[in-house]
Structures are given as C-alpha cells and as structure tokens.
Structure 1
Amino acid sequence: MTDAAWKPRLIALDVDGTLLNPDTGHISAAVKAAVHRAIDAGSQVVIATGRTVLGTVPVLDELDLTSGFALCSNGAVLVDVAAREAVSTETFELAPVLAELSARLPGAIFAAENLGVGNLVTAEFPPNQLEGEQRLATVDELAALRAPRLIASWIGHSPDELEERLAGVELPSCTFTLDHYEPWVTVTPKGVSKGSALEKLRAELGVPGEDTFAAGDGGNDIEMLRWAAHGVAMGQGPELVRAAADEVAGPVAEDGLPAVLDRWFR
C-alpha cells in the first residue's frame, strides 16, 4: 500500500520467525511495543500460527494480549484470546493421509494434535518441537482418528529432500505445507490455511478486504501473504515466501516487523 493515509485495520501476524526470534526463544520489546501501538490505534491484531493452542497461549501471555482472536494449527483452530480457549475447530480423517505419507516418506514419524492436551505420536519428538503431552500410539491407532493437525517428521533427511520427494504431490482430503527449517510436513483439513481462516474471520469482523495486513516468514504463510491487501515477508524467509509478498522486511533478529508497523503506528 502506497497511500499515506491508509492504515491496516486487521493485522495478521505469524509467530515463529515473525514475532518471536527463534534464536532467543522470545519476543523483543520493540516487537511487543509495535503490536500494542497498533492495538491502541484501533486495529484488530490476529495471531496466525502453525502452533497448537497449547503452544500459542505462552505467546499470547508474552505479548500481554487480552482480547481478540488467534488462529492456530495453520487456521484449523480459532481461539478466543480472552478465554485462552478454542471456539471452533476443523478436523480431517487421518487414514488416507497417513497411508500416502508413510509410502512416500519411509521412516517418517507422526504427531496428531490432541486438542488442548498435546499430541498422539508414533515415536517421541524432541520436547522443544511439540507442545503438551506426548502419548505413544501406532500408525493404525492414528488412522482411526480425526484431528485438526498432523505432523510428519522425516528424520535423517533435509527440508530440500522432503520438498523434492513431495513436489507435485496432492495428498488426499487435506492441505499441507512444508517447513523450511525442519524436514516437516504440516497437514490440515482440505481448504484450510491461514489465508482461508483469515478471510472467514475478516468477513465476520466486518473489516474491508482492502484494509488487511499480514506478515510471515514460512511456507505456511504464503496463502496469508497473498490474502492480505499488504503482505510482508520477513527478510530471513526463503525466496518462495518473499516472492508471495508485497514487501520484504528486515529479518526477525533485526526487529524487521516493528520497522514496517511503525510506518502507520508510531
């Protein structure tokens, strides 16, 4: 947006790599202040993340957010920030996706979100990768379930190898994105993304489409950046993400987000 009088009324923000610096594990004072300046000016800030509800609540606490909404699990779960609880959830059948991924990614391990509790896992994940309780289950046990999010971790392989293996593949009855830091596939219900969930929320809030802003750094942010009237990719994000944005900010380690938001919310 080049109109000097324009200000975003709905601001969608990714967490890891956008709000939170993965190197420190925290949100900087500059980022927190910029977010609150936008809220104080009357804009609706929506946290949009691939994290589960359990992983998002500490972020809401660190930001001191007490109202509004968060979209978790790449848009499959809508959270009331004031209550710190999910108010709507979309799920999908795991069986056909597990069959495809098990065949295409031999040796992969899986984690199915157990809403508000943790994950059902086919093997234990490192504790910093998943939020909440990890309960062991077989692939067959997962296949009998529905869930809002499924993670496949292809241990021993690189993100590039994963991307090559799944290039051009359409998994059944789901939407999936690839992580650019870890050899991870994140699977959500068909048609569900941060972008689709934000559009639904935008309409419910009555915010005009031309008054939307989004910032992110990962493959799961691409639909959100394209959805926004003004999409901002963080500087450390891969080229595919930067190409989807209207603008590229500085990296998260250099407080790239506040530098952009301060254009409208000084």
Structure 2
Amino acid sequence: MAAPIAYSLIATDLDGTLLRGDDTLSDRSRTALAMAATAGARHLVVTGRPAPRVRPLLDDLGGQGLAVCGQGAQLYDAGADRMVWSVTLDRELAETALGKIEAEVGEVYAAVDQDGVDGLTLIEPGYEMPHPTLPAVRILHRDDLWAEPISKVLLRHPALTDDELASAARAAVGSLASVTMSGPGTVELQPCGVTKATGLALAAAHLGLTPAETIAFGDMPNDIPMFDWAAHGVAMSNAHPELKAVADEVTLSNEDDGIAVVLERLFMSWAPVVNGESEQPAHH
C-alpha cells in the first residue's frame, strides 16, 4: 500500500517556473504532474498572467478546474470559462499612482490587463512586451488605458532596473496599490492587499484544502506571499534572490525540469506500475 501523499495541493507559477522559456511544458513535467494527480494531489496554476493569457495553457495542460490569475486578482474556472471571483484596480487610483511614480523617476511606459475572461492587454507607445508571445493591443494615448475596468498596470522604465523601479514605485504609491515584480521587465501595480496568497487561499478554500497541505513553486518576488502561505515553498535555481532567501528548498531551473525533480521525489511511489515494476520518469 502506497504511503499517504505529502501534499494534496501543488501550486505552481508559470513563467520561469513550470514553463520553459519557449512557453512549453516538458514531457518530464507532464509525467510528474500526472503522477501527482494519480496520487490524489490537485495542481493549481497561480500566475501573474490574466485569465485570457492562461486559457490556452490550461487547455494544453488539460486543466478544467480553477486557476489563480492576475497576481491573485482573478479566480478563474477553466471548465466553465468564467470568473469565480475577481477584483479590479480602481482606474483613478491607478492613474494617480502612475503620476506619483513618474514624479519620482521620470517617464515610464505603461500597459494594463483588462478585467474579465476576454480582457485585452493594452500597451501605450514606448512599452515593449517582456514576453513577446503574449498578445497585446497597442493604443495611441495613455488615456485609452483606462477605457475599461482593469486588474493591474504593468510598468517599464527606460533606464532603471526592475528592482530599482519596484522600490521607487513602492515608495511613491504607498497604500494606493500593491507593487510586485513578477518577471524580467515586469513591475506591476495591483489592487492594494491582493497577492498570489490571497488568490491561492480563496482557491484552496473552494477545494477544501489548507496551507498545511500545500507545496508552492515559484521564481520571482511576487511568489513570496504564496511561499509564506504554503507549508513548503520551492524556488527554482533561476529564481530572484529575494525568493530564494525565503524558500524552504531550491530546485533546478525551469529549463531543467526543477518542478518534476521535486514531484518525482514526493510521488515516486505512485508511478505507474509496468510488468510489476514502477515506471521511472526519464531523466535527460
């Protein structure tokens, strides 16, 4: 009889964590997630991407359940293609926060993720998408960013590093919004108090699961609240130093199947049995 599973909920970030740089999921990672599912564990995507940018990946993963999107601002039901819950960033507050940041650091380039299952990513002149595979609509004037409800604002600066911009933004906006850094070239403003942890907690409650049953994987400072919430936080070797500093464990990089390495260790006893022997995942 197989031993009880250590974790019933596997929370994974996508970019820089579960996905490789080309937005694909390796066969080894698929096998490891399937092994965990056989053991009864649930896999929950917890990502900064808005729901419309996650839907194709969930389809590829065969995910029909919940996903935490937009840095925790959206709880998305993939099977029903609907929002279970979402919170928007007040557009007047966002515009004010942007002005305060520019008063401190000079001109920044901005983009927004609109709310909703069909929300667009709008980018103003000068803003370059850090992830070129994600679709975006270029607008002519900043005022056009505020045309529809938004879940977050994305910022880039022509000279400052991400860490410098995030630090300056936090000092400038105070309690107007939460500032996160979710990837290279991705500093974001989101509703105050909303984090990946708040979204993860809501999703876990829907699933009847607790922090003590959760293992989380990530690579950037926006994953810190998720690590604080979960029983065990695993940083990728390519992770930001701030996340590594609070992680319980550091695994291999996203390119080297770091998540699979950990899941194989935890769930190996649940590997499919072939000719009386456990089928071991291929190591490359």
TM above 0.5, yes or no, is yes
Whole-Å separation in 2 of the counterparts to 1:43 and 1:35: 9
Q: Is the 8 A contact 1:20 1:252 kept in 2?
A: yes
Q: 1:143 to 1:237 in 2, by over 3 A?
A: same
User: Which consecutive unaligned segments of at least 5 residues does structure 1 have?
Assistant: none
Aligned partner of residue 26 in structure 1, secondary structure:
coil
Residue 178 (1) aligns with residue 181 (2)? yes
User: Could you tell me how far apart the structure 2 residues matched to 1:145 and 1:155 are?
Assistant: 27
- Does the C-alpha gap of structure 1 residues 252 and 120 become closer, same or farther in structure 2, counting only changes over 3 Å? closer
Relative to structure 2, which stretch is displaced further, 93-102 or 217-226?
A: 93-102
- Name which of 69, 75, 78 aligns with 1:81: 78
Query: Do the aligned partners of 2:170 and 2:179 also contact (CA within 8 Å) in 1?
Result: no
Aligned residue runs from structure 1 range 42-53, under 5 A: 42-53=40-51
Structure number with higher helix proportion: 2
**CA deviation after TM superposition for structure 1 residue 104, in Å:** 2.8
For the residues of structure 2 that align with 1:133 and 1:252, how far apart are their CA atoms?
25
Question: How far does the alpha carbon of each residue in 1:119-149 deviate from its partner, in whole angstroms, 9 at most, with x for none?
Answer: 2332264464473341415334445764111
8 Å Cα contact 1:174/1:188 also seen in 2: yes
Give 1:195 shift: 0.7
Gap change, CA 1:32 and 1:84, over 3 Å in 2: farther
1:257 aligns with 2:266: no
- The whole-number CA distance in structure 1 between the counterparts of 2:205 and 2:151 is 22
Say if 1:96 and 1:172, in contact at 8 Å, map to a contact too. no
Q: Is the CA contact (8 Å cut-off) linking 2:97 and 2:172 kept in structure 1? A: no
2:44 is the counterpart of 1:39 = no
Aligned partner of 1:9 in structure 2 is 8
- Greater mean alpha carbon deviation, residues 53-62 or residues 71-80: 53-62
Kindly indicate whether residue 168 of structure 2 is the aligned counterpart of residue 165 of structure 1.
yes
One-letter identity of the residue aligned with 1:25: D
Q: Which residue identity lines up with residue 83 of structure 2 in the other structure?
A: A
What is the aligned-residue identity percentage? 31
Distance 1:49 1:58 in 2: 14
Q: Which amino acid aligns with 1:176?
A: V
1:96 is the counterpart of 2:92: no
Secondary structure (helix, strand or coil) at the match of 2:35 reads helix
**Mapping 1:1-266, distance limit 5 Å:** 5-22=4-21, 24-65=22-63, 67-93=64-90, 94-115=94-115, 116-123=118-125, 125-126=127-128, 128-129=131-132, 131-136=134-139, 138-142=141-145, 146-163=149-166, 165-166=168-169, 168-179=171-182, 181-182=184-185, 184-266=186-268
Q: Distance in 1 between matches of 2:127 and 2:83?
A: 24
AA of the residue aligned to 2:48: G
* Cα distance between partner residues in 2 of 1:17 and 1:137: 31
Mapped to 2, the partners of 1:179 and 1:156 lie a distance apart of 18
Moved more, 211-220 or 121-130: 121-130
- Which runs of 5 or more structure 2 residues have no equivalent in the other structure? 269-284
Question: 1:31 touches 1:255 (CA, 8 Å); kept in 2?
Answer: yes
2:111/2:154 contact within 8 Å kept: yes
Q: Please say if residues 98 and 143 of structure 1, whose CA atoms lie closer than 8 Å, have aligned partners that are also in contact.
A: no
Do the aligned partners of residues 9 and 179 (structure 1) sit closer, same or farther apart at CA in structure 2, a change above 3 Å counting? closer
Using the TM superposition, give the Cα deviation of residue 20 of structure 1 relative to its aligned residue in structure 2, in angstroms: 0.6
Q: What is the deviation of 1:248?
A: 0.9
Q: Are the counterparts in 2 of residues 119 and 130 from structure 1 also a CA contact under 8 Å?
A: no
CA distance in 2, matches of 1:235, 1:257: 11
Q: Which structure would you say has the larger Rg?
A: 2
Equivalent pairs counted in the alignment come to 260
Deviation at 1:170, TM superposition (A): 4.5
User: Could you tell me how far apart the structure 1 residues matched to 2:246 and 2:124 are?
Assistant: 34
